[in-house]
Amino acid sequence: MAEVLVPKTLAELLPNINNEEKRITAGCTDIMVGIRSRRMASKPMIDINEVEEIKVIYEDDYSVYIGSNVPLNKVIHNELIQKNFPLLAKAIESIGSLQIRNRATLGGNIQNASPSGDSILALTVLRAKVILRSLRGRRQVDITEFIKGPGRTDLRNDEFIEYISIPKVFSNYQGYFEKVGLRNAMVISIASMAVVYKLENNIIKDINIAYGAVAPKVLQLTEVENFLKEKELNGENLTAAGELIGRNVSPIDDVRASAEYRTQVCKNLILRLIG
């Protein structure tokens, strides 16, 4: 049985972080599966579940901050999230089962760095930053830069994810999230899409688009965003954007779907913005 350290405060946690020698965990929903399947080696763990300082959600004038230790269901039902970022709540609601969401944390879901990660997809279009903490201090990294590839992040050996911050500027944007899979519940995406956009007289003034499960990491489609800006939100423009999307995604063939099917799904999903 691996040694488990259970700090009660950040002051107890910070001197003990060494990600080469110890594994930080909170909900254990991914780690226990990895250890039992022998995809992960068993090593000493730091259980941060009792560190209350990172179990809060709060705001300032510019951003909303989500503690890395906040369970997913509490993120979904939090008033600040519902008011400002309902897209994030919808995306997180599609993760696993109710029981999993009661245990799993937002920090853990991000650190898992899955190409089909639903929370990562929503946080990408919301231009979230990951706030990392160590004894040396804090640093902020854009979520698109923090995720390096499947299971790989920019986390240094003496750091942990303390907060995720989301700029309030997007609280006035419309949003859309959808994932496509082989069943309706507890599904791993064949392809997924998140969009936030701002309309004036049906003209797209600003738009952020990202896709999941179609590249080694969540894919931000800057070229498509630039194409749609200052254009009318209509079928003709979205169809043209879909063709551009098809040329930008790079899905693979696997047991869930072919690359060709995934590409077509991506092209079709953007049309959902007009129902």
What are the pLDDT digits (tens) for 244-253?
Answer: 999 999 887 7
Please give the pLDDT value at position 119.
Answer: 95
Are residues 81 and 156 located together in one domain of the fold? yes
Q: Evaluate whether residue 178 is within a structural domain.
A: no
pLDDT (0 to 100) of residue 268: 96
Of the given ranges (2-11, 73-82, 195-204), which has the lowest mean pLDDT?
A: 2-11
- Among 134, 169, 204, the domain-final residue is 169
CATH number at residue 195: 3.30.390.50
Do both 133 and 247 map to the same domain? no
pLDDT average, residue stretch 230-259: 91
The pTM (predicted TM-score) of the whole model is 0.90
Three-state DSSP at 97 gives coil
Same domain, 119 and 205: no
Residue at which a domain ends, from 140, 169, 198: 169
Split into its structural domains, the chain has a count of: 2
Provide the pLDDT for residue 250.
85
User: Residue 177: inside a domain, yes or no?
Assistant: no
If asked whether residues 209 and 147 sit together in one domain, one would say no
61 domain residue, yes or no: yes
Residue 200, pLDDT above cutoff 80: yes
Considering the domain architecture, whether residues 15 and 124 belong to the same structural domain is answered as yes
206 and 118: one domain? no
Q: Confirm whether 263 is domain-assigned.
A: yes
Q: Which stretch of 14-28, 33-47, 75-89, 208-222 has the lowest confidence by average pLDDT?
A: 33-47
Of the two residues 195 and 115, the one the predictor is more confident about is 195
**Domain match, 117 and 10 both:** yes
Looking from the CA of 51 toward its CB, the CA atoms found within 13 Å total 27
Tell me what percent of the residues of the chain surpass a pLDDT of 90: 71
Residue 152, domain member (yes or no) = yes
Task: Pick the range with the lowest mean pLDDT from 72-76, 176-180, 188-192.
Answer: 188-192
* CA nearest neighbour of 28 among 101, 107, 121, 103: 103
User: Is residue 182 in some structural domain?
Assistant: no
Mean pLDDT of 50-78: 96
Please check whether residues 85 and 121 belong to one and the same domain.
yes
pLDDT of residue 195: 98
Q: What is the mean pLDDT of residues 184-209?
A: 88
pLDDT of residue 43: 75
pLDDT tens digits, residue range 22-61? 888 875 555 555 555 555 566 788 899 899 999 999 999 9
Instruction: Find out whether 49 and 8 touch, Cβ atoms under 8 Å.
Output: no
Query: How far apart, in whole angstroms, are the C-alpha atoms of residue 100 and residue 64?
Result: 24
Q: Tell whether 45 and 149 lie within a shared domain.
A: yes
> Domain of 45?
4-169
Same domain, 144 and 212: no
So what's the pLDDT on residue 40? 56
Q: What is the CATH number of the domain that holds 9?
A: 3.30.465.10
| pLDDT recorded at residue 14 | 95
User: Is 116 a domain residue?
Assistant: yes
Q: What is the pLDDT of residue 38?
A: 58
Residue pair 118/93 in contact by the 8 Å Cβ criterion = no
Are residues 109 and 242 located together in one domain of the fold? Answer: no
Is residue 175 one of the residues assigned to a domain? no
Which amino acid is it at 245?
A: I
| 64 and 106 housed in the same domain | yes
Among 118, 140, 169, the domain-final residue is 169
Tokens describing residue 26:
């909170």
Q: Provide the token pair at 120.
A: 């990562």
